[in-house]
Amino acid sequence: MTHRRFIVAPLLLLALAAPVDARAETPEAAAPPQDAGFTLEQRRGFYEKTRRDTLPFALSNLAIPGLGNVLNDQPLLGSGFAGVWAIALFTLAYGLTNDNTELTIAGSAIMAGTYVGSIVTTSFAVNAYNAKLRRRYRVDAPARAPGLTVSFSF
């Protein structure tokens, strides 16, 4: 029975880390053609439908560090955070069971670092995805602030 667990666990991790259909999630695949003649409001509607919200991806990292990265098409980075977190968890558990304060502190600090690191990198990745999407849909119209330009030449 224990041999089955050793076989199922790596297969489950591989299934979670397997790349998803990249064409369905990339801004290029979801975007209308450049010369389609959509108005700015239509392009903003397309953007709002396909943009990613940072909060769900960041909160998924609270379950397992790196899960938000995996869901955000960064499986290697997410797997790295999850692996370091697992090693830190075992270090913490070993330190607690053997009354080793140094290992307990080290395991706790590394676990906290993986949580913070995975949330920060997920947030940056979601913001980068949304910026690419805004460029693709051309929804960042240059705003012209009212003002007066004065120049002096001597």
Tell me which residue of 57, 85, 50, 53 sits closest to 71, measured CA to CA: 57
Task: Identify which has the larger pLDDT, 124 or 152.
Answer: 124
Quick check: is 82 in a domain?
yes
- Look up the domain containing 80 and give its range: 39-137
Quick check: is 92 in a domain?
yes
- Encode pLDDT of 53-91 as tens digits: 999 999 999 999 999 999 999 999 999 999 999 999 999
How many structural domains compose the chain?
Answer: 1
Quick check: is 123 in a domain?
yes
Which pLDDT band, with edges at 50, 70 and 90, does 18 fall under?
Answer: very low
Tell me which residue of 58, 68, 70 sits closest to 19, measured CA to CA: 70
Mean pLDDT over 83-104 rounds to 95
Q: Quick check: pTM over 0.85?
A: no
Quick check: is 71 in a domain?
yes
What are the residues whose beta carbons fall under 8 Å from the beta carbon of 35, sequence distance 6 or more? none
Quick check: is 33 in a domain?
no
Helices then strands, counting H and E runs in the chain, come out as 8, 0
As a whole number of angstroms, the distance between CA 93 and CA 91 comes to 5
Quick check: is 97 in a domain?
yes
